[in-house]
Amino acid sequence: MKVKTILMAGIITGGALLSCTQQSEKGKSGKSEIIGKSVPKIENGLMTPEVLYSFGRIGDVRVSPDRSKILYQVTYVSIQQNKTNPEFFVMDADGSNKKQITHTNSRESNPCWLDGGKKIAFLSNEGDTSQIWTMNLDGGDLAKLSEDEKGIDGFLFSPDEKKVLFVKNVTIKQPVSARYPDLPEASGRIIDDLMYKHWDQWVTEVPHPFVADVVNGKLQNIKDLLEGEPYESPMLPWGGIEQLAWSPDGKIIAYTCRKKTGKEYAISTNSDIYFYDLATGKTTNMTQGMMGYDTNPRFSPDGKYLAWQSMERDGYEADKNRLMVMDLATRQKTYVTENFDYNTDAIQWADDSRHIYLIACVEAKTQIFVADFLTKEVKPVTQGQHDYLSVALGGQGKLIAKRQSMSKPDEIYSVDIISGKATELSFENKDILDQLKMGRVEERWIPTTDGKKMLTWVIFPPDFDSTKVYPALLYCQGGPQNTVSQFWSYRWNMQMMASDGYIIVAPNRRGLPGFGQEWLEQISGDYGGQNMKDYFSAIDALAKEPYVDKNHLGCTGASYGGFSVYWLAGHHNKRFKAFWAHAGIFNLEAQYLETEEMWFANWDMGGPYWDKSNAIAQRTYANSPHLFVDKWDTPIMISHGELDYRILASQGMMAFNAAQMRNIPSRMLIFPDENHWISKPQNGILFQREFKRWFDEWLMPSSENNSD
């Protein structure tokens, strides 16, 4: 069925769209039913994996040019079909008149407003490749704008909508058959430089920005801004269309790029902001000499200034993310957040071209702030126990923002700029949330071994009774530089774990942003050091509470959190009765040579293990968890994805083999089709079920496996 037919059918049925369930995988026609909003079965008000995967997931949020409407994306999940499906909605800026405007099993994404809000443009993979489409808000006048063979990954229309900037992949590594035409079936890859793999893929293609004229509803005069160059823009693996921007007059395109390849790329984070002049074709490096990450350019509304995010030091991916502003007439740079000791993100110019809205995580809560780039003053707009994820200008003194917490998935809010009061608009998940009992989330400051205070979140089971005793799980954060903020996760969901009957202890140990640079930077070169003492401080403090069963403590985490689990397994002095490590580093020497982003290994580990004169590096490798397997004495569960090129699955397999050889009760869960994350719905459900089964076996007092 063609997209136009499906879209129009969805619009005609109107409200019926909102009651779509996932009861069966196929309709009468034999085709898969359109994946829509779920109606999960909820018993006793408790979260289950199936309920967790029933929430609608709000994605892109776009405010109309006149700020009267909000266009947004919601992704629905089908456990049966093992797929997700994004759809578009539109509502008035006050949350009224909400309508679903697409109803397909194609993947719609990257929505934007056109023609003063009369039309929208978006990406759809109808026809197997992702292309740019346009349509009216009622589904009429549907048209396919692009016909690119490889497909398009993101786009931005010029301010006058006569041109479009888009991203697509270009080939930089030819297959073996290009060199040896007589070996067309040969599958080998010939590698002669670093950065041959990244995140979860072999690097044979990179994204490039292209610009084209829009003529009679089609793209013409297509130009590759990096034609003939092997560089990537946006930057892999996380960069998207936010790393590019149009100037207000449509004469300049700003793009983010790290113009390096091979080993030079693998050891450096030095990216820059480049200007491409459409009239002359000339490219200018606007941040020459700034040595760290420079990303996410934003032109001021009057076109006189450029704001962007900047890190100072090359090779340090967790450096402070500074807000910078450049006067484009004089090239003078202003370090706006010089007196603000926190990272900045999601920058948005105010209409006056002087103030900039942003989000920043401060003490494990992410709030909206406003910065005056002339005075360098940064003031909070919001407060409360939650995380804001995005911010956009609304009308009538309002901001439109996306927000989540440990107890609530993403929803869209209207925020009063003066008072900071937030009003929910989307209510996408209200019907599910109203049926669930969430555990209390407590903010606790715990003394550390070096005389500081550490914010630790304590999440209690629903219907918590302080006269009873509960097993507890220590949650170890990954990154290693990722705050344990008020995040909502579909894998490490605090309320999901608490609903299983556990008290969750989630410390913001050393090395996490949101507590100043000194706290953040302490971890680099100190793996196995103070941050591990912080973990012990957190769990020891909670173990003293009368409602915590100190004889039934568990520990879990992923990535650096998985490393933490492996390390703690050899040093915990019988504190814990069970461990679970996902995608963790087990052997640091192997990790140094297995990972792909060598800048991370060089900075955080201190350098290569063979440099015997490097005291920091030698201390790091002396703390490798594999060196302490002889001290392991506690059941351990290990999970890993085989498409993980950041931390190879061999790390998990080594740990499992070690446990087996030591006769430690152990189990392994391997995902052949997952990377560092777990993205497929049924794999996510499997992970949650096995997580509960493992810890219930060893931590619930009634377990026959338990021995005190």
Residues carrying an active site annotation: 559, 644, 676
Q: Which is nearest to 560 in space by CA: 584, 536, 541?
A: 584
The CA distance from 539 to 574, in Å, is: 12
Return d(Cα 123, Cα 139) in angstroms, integer: 15
Question: Please, is 513 exposed, middle or buried when counting C-beta atoms within 10 Å of its C-beta (0-12, 13-18, 19+)?
Answer: buried
Burial (0-12, 13-18, 19+ Cβ within 10 Å), 318: buried
387, 405 in Cβ contact below 8 A?
Answer: yes
Q: What is the 3-state secondary structure (H, E, C) of 154-207?
A: EEEECCCCCEEEEEEEEECCCCHHHHCCCCCCCCCCCCCCCCCEECCEECCEEE
Are the C-beta atoms of 121 and 145 separated by less than 8 Å? yes
Amino acid in the structure at residue 510: R
The CA–CA distances, whole Å, from 248 to 81, 85, 200, 619 equal 44, 34, 37, 52
DSSP 633-694: -S-EEEEEETT-SSS-HHHHHHHHHHHHHTT--EEEEEETT--SS--SHHHHHHHHHHHHHH
Distance between CA atoms of 405 and 485, rounded to whole angstroms? 8
| Angle at 470 (CA atoms; ends 467, 472), nearest 5 degrees | 140
Give the C-alpha separation, 77 to 56, whole Å.
Answer: 8
- Please tell me the distance from the alpha carbon of residue 84 to that of residue 222, in angstroms, as a whole number: 32
Counting every residue, how long is the chain? 708
